[in-house]
Amino acid sequence: MHGHLTIISGRAHPKLAAEVADYLGIGMGKVAIWNFPDGEIGLKIDQNIRGMDVYLFQPTSPPVNENLMELLVLIDACKRASAARITAVIPYFGYARQDRKDSGRVPITAKLVANLITKAGADRVLAMDLHAAQIQGFFDVPVDHLYAAPIIDDYFRSLRLPQDQIVVVSPDEGSIKRSVQHQEHLGGSLCIVDKRRSSATETKQANLIGGPIDGKIALLFDDMISTAGSIVGAVNIVHEHGASKIFVGATHAVFCGKATALLREAPIHEVVVTNSIPLTEKQTFPNLKVVSVAPLLGEAIKRIHRNESVSYLFD
């Protein structure tokens, strides 16, 4: 067992860190963070953390480079303050989509970021719904990879949707495995949107495989909603095929570009996301529902601290 447990948050998402601290029944660790006039990050840990088990909360969501650098500086400060073990808690891992060379002369930035976090001094990483599961292998330290699907599914179960009316729709071929897992928990049938990509930022939706969907309640799931182009395109296809109600579920609400406007105007009954990323007032809209992952992260931290199994949370 490591020393006392403490949670320290960067400026990316202190609200989620505080929720997790509440769940664990502990106070937040004290840290002062500021920017120098030239933009450099300065910070000081305002308490003794020598010999402690420290959990640093910092999703690397937009502004991704600022938040990533702040995480690295936090890790270094804790290392130099003689923390016994440092766990980087990264509910949303930025750069995760740059996980392979899909053409010549491009970087694998997800691996570079993993190297930076390890080199800074993190002893382990706690992440959630990584865009590609193999990113765990990019780190040379242990990675606990959590999934928000049970929390999102619990919310949908609370809506008491009739099972014979549910169709779980995979928005593209890459999301089939995720959609099958949701279908196993929520019931209903399965459908796939056959998506054709025209460029890195634009996709063209084509056909619907499976069904029928006419008069049914469609549930679409993805790991993240970034520009919302893909998911709204899939929603429109499902709507054209006669779905009576459409729900969208995703772990990470990145919501960049015109995402909020697209989601607000799309024929979606409700968009369900987690609080892995903080949302500004401009990013919210009436039919957005945010569910908290604080209990999941809190339970994982409790188990890591006690050297117990984290995979138990998936059973």
pLDDT of residue 1: 47
- pTM (two decimals): 0.94
Interstrand relation of 270-274 and 217-225 (parallel, antiparallel or unpaired):
unpaired
How many CB atoms sit inside 10 A of residue 33's CB?
Answer: 18
Helices (H), the chain: 14-24, 64-80, 109-120, 149-158, 176-186, 229-240, 259-265, 294-305
Q: How far apart are CA 55 and CA 65, in angstroms?
A: 20
| Structural element, H or E, at residue 87 | strand 85-90
- pLDDT beyond 60 at 5: yes
pLDDT averaged over every residue in the chain: 94
Q: Say whether domain 149-291 belongs to CATH 3.40.50.2020.
A: yes
Query: Token digits for 278?
Result: 């903080």
> Does 204 score more than 70 pLDDT?
no
Structure token digits, residue 310: 């984290």
Angle at 41 between CA 227 and CA 4, to 5 degrees: 95
- Is the pLDDT at 295 greater than 70? The verdict is yes
The segment(s) of the chain belonging to CATH 3.40.50.2020 are 5-147+294-314, 149-291
What is the percentage of the chain residues whose pLDDT exceeds 70?
95
CATH number assigned to the domain covering 5-147+294-314: 3.40.50.2020
Look at residue 11 in the predicted model and tell me its pLDDT: 98
Which contiguous run of DSSP H or E holds residue 288?
A: strand 288-291
Cβ count within 10 A of residue 127:
21
Catalytic residue among 79, 119, 195, 216: 195
10 Å Cβ neighbour count for 51?
12
Task: Based on the residue annotation, tell me whether 195 is a catalytic residue of this protein.
Answer: yes
